[in-house]
Amino acid sequence: MSDLLTVQDLTMRFGGVTALQQVSFQVPRGSITAMIGPNGAGKTTVFNCLTGFYAASAGKIHLHREDGVVDLGQKMGSASRFRGSVNPLALTRRLFDGLTAGTHQVVRSGVARTFQNVRLFREMTVMENLLVAQHQLVDRNVWAGVFRTRGYLCAESAALDRAMGWLNLFGMLDDANRLAGELPYGQQRRLEIVRALCTDPVLLCLDEPAAGLNPMETQALSQMILRLRDHHDLTVLLIEHDMNLVMNISDHVVVLDHGEVIANGTPDFVQNHPAVLEAYLGVAEPSGSTSTTKTFSPPPPHSPAPSSTRAVDQGRLPLIIDPEVARPGAFRP
């Protein structure tokens, strides 16, 4: 299986703080790749770099489309592109590309995303949200719109058909004329995914799509993501904290901790990797040790189980704090 996305030595600095340090991974074509890690590991920063919200400080991001390789760093106006430019014509071209670069160029290249927090046009209808997402796929010529030309009407009809098709697939056809802000939270989550799909992506990036969903909604979401991969030729890259969802649907898992990749492989490989268990749970303090390092210590016998809202390792905030997760294979239900 060839790679659709390759990320090499991705580095992101905010002043003197290094959020990502030489992050490298691949997303195989036609796969579901999950990115996991403790809070603050740098997962969303990676997404922001991939989708044009941040211009990476260093590194290469390449999208391998069937019609050629797209340098997403160039589409995002990466600062590293301006180094070593001595040819005036090349410098002018790079400067122009930098001024016109941004998230819209990444979307045009075939990369779409959703967000941790729902970002819909709440005062617009569901259908209007989906038509706005297709502005690059329709005829935007002013005179064509005024005179209602044949090409304009055909493009408008195709956009409506595309939106209706995705709504039907996600079971939201009856909500087409409702205001987006009136939908239940779970439906708003679905609408964000549908809106991303309307941009006709080859890579769909989902940032915590199951956040706030109940178990039944999460199960339905899992089946839908599998269907997108299996029947719609889509490659999915997702960030998720729900380990059941991740381990059940993912073909490939990338684990981040403190801005670095600590494990990379199949779900079975990752869930038993010592570095992954250490990142989530900490390590037991050796007997008789005088070290002041804050480490994970199991609860004493007959003590109540740790609260789900209390961090086990005071040095970091783990996503999974049940000590039973340390058992091999415990990630999978």
> What is the 8-class DSSP label of residue 15?
T
The CA–CA distances, whole Å, from 102 to 15, 208, 230 equal 21, 23, 31
Residues 6+ apart with CB under 8 A from 75: 52, 101, 105, 106, 108, 109
* Positions of the chain with pLDDT lower than 50, given as ranges: 78-84, 291-333
pLDDT attached to residue 138? 76
Dihedral sign, Cα of residue 263, residue 209, residue 228, residue 325: positive
Q: What is the pLDDT of residue 150?
A: 85
pLDDT at position 295, please? 41
Q: In the sheet where 68-71 sits, what is the strand order?
A: 17-28, 3-14, 58-65, 68-71
The CA angle 181-182-187, to the nearest 5 degrees, is 85
Q: Which two tokens stand for residue 283?
A: 């390590």
CA dist., res. 46 & res. 34, Å (int) = 12
Q: What is the pTM for the complete model shown? A: 0.76
Q: Give the pLDDT of residue 298.
A: 43
* pLDDT, position 267: 93
Backbone φ and ψ of 294, nearest 5°: -80, 120
Q: What is the pLDDT of residue 143?
A: 82
Query: Which tokens go with 56?
Result: 């990476």
> Tens digits of per-residue pLDDT, 209-257?
999 899 999 999 999 999 999 999 899 999 999 999 999 999 999 999 9
Neighbours of 62 (CB within 10 A): 18
Give the per-residue pLDDT at 139: 67
